[in-house]
Amino acid sequence: MNRITERFARLRQLGRKGLVIYIGAGDPHLEATRQLALAFDRAGVDVLELGVPFSDPLADGLVNQLAAQRGLESGTTPAKVLATVAAIRRESAIPIVLYLYFNLVHRHGVEAFIRDAAAAGVDGLLVLDLPPEESANYDALMRAAGLCAIYLVAPTTPEDRIAAIVRHGSGFIYYVSREGVTGMQTKLSDTIAAMTTKIRAHTDLPVAVGFGISNAEQARAVAQHAEAIVVGSAVVNRIAESGRSPDLVAKVSDFVGELAAAVKTAGV
């Protein structure tokens, strides 16, 4: 069974919510990415999203754009990200999703990229700018490789399109709780409860809510309405603040541990 599917099945059995953490691969360097992944596993993270650095990350706000830039500056490439995943796999079974733009997949070759990702130990791909209408061959290749194809639903997505999107998805559905790009927010969206209910009317897949969740209190609140919450920019911002300091991993994983505790105690 795919590690993402297995993890959500276990969470459901335990009556607990999941925590998905996003970081930019190669920020500040790939060895830090490997160490953070292992620390997050110990801290209670259920799924790790690794952003593959790209020069034009249109879905990302400033914090994650700068992380992508730092990743590129550290020499991070898709091939090196896959090598880092393989290194993580030697010590951890944490489910891993690559968050990336289709240009990178296309350049590598769609079939080759999916094959190489599966071989490295990746469990799913979230291709930000690949619409379901253009994903037939991609979806078939993903299923054949045993990988989850993660798709996004937004607050502005009409109900008939929600139904169409979730038919293509596997692993979980990522509900983007705010219009616009990624980034930390001081106030949660007021559409979360209604939209997660609407999504569940069309799929049995777990719903993970992200975009704008910045602290443990917000994580606990959102977890009441979803099977998992996604935190990215708030974690990436702490990586940026720590830079290459020796206590980077300890500081960031302490914060992530607070998020995990909040989510795990949110209940069903």
Residues 6+ apart with CB under 8 A from 154: 175, 176, 179
Residues 6+ apart with CB under 8 A from 197: none
Task: Give me the catalytic one of 27, 41, 46, 49.
Answer: 49
Tokens at 44, concatenated: 């209670």
Mean pLDDT, the chain, rounded, equals 92
The answer to whether the CB of 239 falls within 8 A of the CB of 248 is yes
Question: What pLDDT was estimated at residue 243?
Answer: 85
Residues 6+ apart with CB under 8 A from 48: 20, 21, 23, 37, 40, 41, 94, 95, 96, 97
Mean of the pLDDT values across residues 213-234? 92
- pTM score of the predicted model: 0.94
The yes-or-no answer on residue 49 being catalytic is yes
Question: Has residue 268 got a pLDDT over 80?
Answer: no
Mean of the pLDDT values across residues 12-38? 97
| Cα separations in angstroms, 105 against 19, 140, 142, 174 | 26, 15, 12, 20
Mean of the pLDDT values across residues 203-209? 97
The yes-or-no answer on residue 258 being catalytic is no
φ, ψ of residue 123 in degrees (nearest 5)? -110, -20
Q: What is the pLDDT of residues 66-83, one digit of tens each?
A: 999 999 999 999 999 999
Ordered structural domains, the chain, with CATH:
3-264 (3.20.20.70)
Tokens at 66, concatenated: 């700068």
Question: Has residue 30 got a pLDDT over 80?
Answer: yes
Mean of the pLDDT values across residues 20-42? 98
Range with lowest mean pLDDT among 3-7, 12-16, 120-124, 208-212: 208-212
Share of the chain above pLDDT 90, in %: 83
Mean of the pLDDT values across residues 40-49? 98
Question: What pLDDT was estimated at residue 181?
Answer: 43
Question: Has residue 8 got a pLDDT over 90?
Answer: yes
The answer to whether the CB of 87 falls within 8 A of the CB of 117 is no
Task: Give me the catalytic one of 60, 73, 116, 258.
Answer: 60
Question: What pLDDT was estimated at residue 117?
Answer: 98
Mean of the pLDDT values across residues 129-138? 90
Question: Has residue 144 got a pLDDT over 70?
Answer: yes
Mean of the pLDDT values across residues 232-248? 94
